[in-house]
Structures are given as C-alpha cells and as structure tokens.
Amino acid sequence: MKKALITGITGQDGAYLAKLLLGKDYKVYGLIRRIVNRDFSNLEYLGIDKDIELVDGDLTDEASLINVIKTVKPDEVYNLAAQSFVGTSWDQPLVTSEINALGTLKLLNAIKTHWPTAKFYQAATSEMFGNSATDGIQNENTPFHPRSPYAISKLFAHWMTVNYKESFGMFAVSGILFNHESPIRGKEFVTRKITDGVAKIKLGLADEIKLGNLDAKRDWGFAGDYVEAMWLMLQQEEADNYVICTGKTHSIRELLDVAFQHVGIKDWDKYVSIDPRFKRPAELHILTGKNDKAKEKLNWQPKVDFEELVKMMVDADLKRLKK
C-alpha cells in the first residue's frame, strides 16, 4: 500500500485529492495544524473524514515537518497548504510568504534530508504568469510576471521545487494549475461567492452580490479533474512541470449569466453591485492556459466544462441553504 502525505488536506484540493487516492488504495495522511477550531467540513462533504490519518505539523515549523516525514515515510508528498486567497496577500504579505514560500522550502528540506525517495508535488498557480503573455495564452514556456504577493510567494516555491530537483536529484514536480473550482470552494473566492449569492437570492435570503471587476477573464475548471493531474505527474518516469487548464476563458459576467439563468433569473444586473474594495491593486486581466503537454504526456484532459461546473456549484449551494 502506497502512503501519501497531503498538506492542506482540509482545503478544496486536499479533500478531492484524498478521495482520489483512497480510491486507489493509498494510505492517506493529512497534515493538520494544532489549532483550536479544526474544520473538516470538506472531508465530511466528500464522505472521507473517517478514512484519513491526521498528523500534527505546521509548514512554518521545520522541526514538526521533519518529525512527520520521519514518522510517515511517505511515497508521495502533495504540498497543497497555502494562504491561497489573493486579496488577503496584499494585507498579509509576510504571512503569505512564510507559509507559501518558506513553508515549501522547509518541507523540501525535510524530505531531502530525511526521506529523499519521496516524490514531491508542489501546487503552483497560473497567477505566477500575471499579464506576461501578449496573446493571453500561457504554457510551460511562458515568462512569469506575478502581480500579487500571493503569486510572488508561489513563484519562489516553484523555483525552489525546480532547484531541489536539479540540485539534489529529487523527484519534484510543480503543477501550474489554472483556476479550479467546486462546491466546496471557499466563499471568499469569487466563483463560490457568486454561486452562494445566487442561491440566496433565489431563496429570498439575500438581494445583492457585491463584486469587483466583472470583466476579469479566467480559465476555470473542476477541482475533481485537476487533482487527477496532480497524481498523474507523480506516476511518470521523469519529474517534469505541467500546466493544467481547460484552454477556454470566461469572464465574471459570463459566470453570472450562467449562474442566474440556472435558477431562472435572466436580468441579473439589479442584483449585482460594484464595490471598489474587491478590486485588486494590480489587476490580472486574463488567464488562458494551453494544456497540450498534459494531454500528450499525462493523457489528461478536463471532463467537466464551464457551464456544468457553475450549475453544479449553484445546485450544491441551493441544497445546503434549503437544509
């Protein structure tokens, strides 16, 4: 039985990845910070909260990471823990960097020193590209130009992963994932903020959604599809980095259209207001990925399309609120 260690296991990606690995007969360990209020709702939503062994540790504490690596001796390590909300990174750049950048370095060092046979996956992000692609399309060869403290911290972690592979021969890969969502996405993210807001408006529980830039365009996919790509990267003979995306871009306005029309509301303008507080200090206008490499080498491609994803999320929020 293979053993996998997942940091950030209570988050969206951690929960979906854990479910995937359990289905492949892995023994799954989840790294959990010793805090008072632990939220296992995502694991409970997917019905796997009783199937995971939790281990105490903290990405900001290298000693705890060393102890976990020496105890678990994992075959695969998936580093998904992060301060992942872009907006917060401007208000808390130090915390964001300590977790996302230095936390990754500490974990890499713990693996290199105490269990170097473990395969390592780093959760990178399309935010690292910024607005660098003149044609708006990003692949593995597109230059990076991060536009937020979050993206900068993730770029540090990405290059450290590359460096540890090249310097120490570790099997270390970086998955550059474009936006991926699901019914268990946090409500602070615009996709879930919209689907939750639409469900509340439909049920008469709210009458407004406050948003920032409605013209921002993103390449959105389903988290359940994307975690499969993470696993596939660690099953290859050679470690390599991959862009994971759908290759199709949609605007916030399109997302609103699909979500509101799904509940029978055609004229959504009267329910949406612009709040300057939700606009980024440095805007990232468009992200569109190109996943040719993942299709060819990993034999991976997304299964859930944009409209299906949005409707899935709205339906899940309606179901929650009706309870």
Residue 274 and residue 272: Cα distance in Å, rounded? 7
User: Is 9 a residue whose pLDDT tops 70?
Assistant: yes
| Identity of the amino acid at 150 | Y
The residue annotated as part of the active site, out of 127, 181, 195, 246, is: 127
CB 132 within 8 A of CB 88: no
The residue annotated as part of the active site, out of 125, 161, 195, 249, is: 125
**Predicted pLDDT at 33:** 87
pLDDT (mean) for 187-198: 95
H or E element that contains 50: none
Question: What is the residue-averaged pLDDT of the chain?
Answer: 94
pLDDT (mean) for 257-261: 98
* pTM to 2 decimal places: 0.94
Residue 62 and residue 189: Cα distance in Å, rounded? 30
Residue 137 pLDDT grade (very low, low, confident, very high; cuts 50, 70, 90): confident
User: Is 128 a residue whose pLDDT tops 80?
Assistant: yes
Residue 178 and residue 247: Cα distance in Å, rounded? 9
Take residue 320 and report the two structure tokens written for it: 């929650």
Half-sphere exposure of 178 (CA within 13 A, CB side): 26
Strand-pair category, 209-211 with 119-125: unpaired
How does DSSP assign 102-166, residue by residue? IHHHHHHHHHHHH-TTSEEEEEEEGGGTTT--TTSEE-TTSPP---SHHHHHHHHHHHHHHHHHH
User: Is 282 a residue whose pLDDT tops 80?
Assistant: no
Residue 87 pLDDT grade (very low, low, confident, very high; cuts 50, 70, 90): confident
Q: What CA–CA distances, in Å, run from 225 to 79, 199, 312?
A: 18, 24, 14
pLDDT (mean) for 197-212: 96
Q: What CA–CA distances, in Å, run from 190 to 182, 193, 231, 251?
A: 12, 5, 27, 11
CB 286 within 8 A of CB 136: yes
62 noted as active-site residue: no
Domains, the chain, with CATH or none: 3-180+221-244 (3.40.50.720), 186-219+248-289+304-322 (3.90.25.10)
pLDDT (mean) for 174-194: 95
pLDDT (mean) for 281-300: 86
pLDDT (mean) for 81-88: 84
CB 291 within 8 A of CB 247: yes
Kindly report the backbone phi and psi dihedral angles of residue 141, in degrees, each rounded to the nearest multiple of 5, phi listed first. -105, 0
pLDDT (mean) for 222-234: 98
| Identity of the amino acid at 78 | Y
**Predicted pLDDT at 167:** 98
Reference 260, options 221, 217, 218, 209; nearest CA is 209
Centre a 10 Å sphere on the Cβ of residue 73 and count the other Cβ atoms it contains.
13
CB 157 within 8 A of CB 101: yes
**Predicted pLDDT at 41:** 94
Q: Would you give the DSSP letter of residue 128? A: G
**Predicted pLDDT at 85:** 74
127 noted as active-site residue: yes
CB 135 within 8 A of CB 93: no
Residue 158 and residue 140: Cα distance in Å, rounded? 12
150 noted as active-site residue: yes
**Predicted pLDDT at 113:** 97
pLDDT (mean) for 92-97: 93
CB 234 within 8 A of CB 171: yes
Q: Would you give the DSSP letter of residue 295? A: I
The residue annotated as part of the active site, out of 26, 121, 150, 164, is: 150
pLDDT cut 70: percent of the chain above it:
96
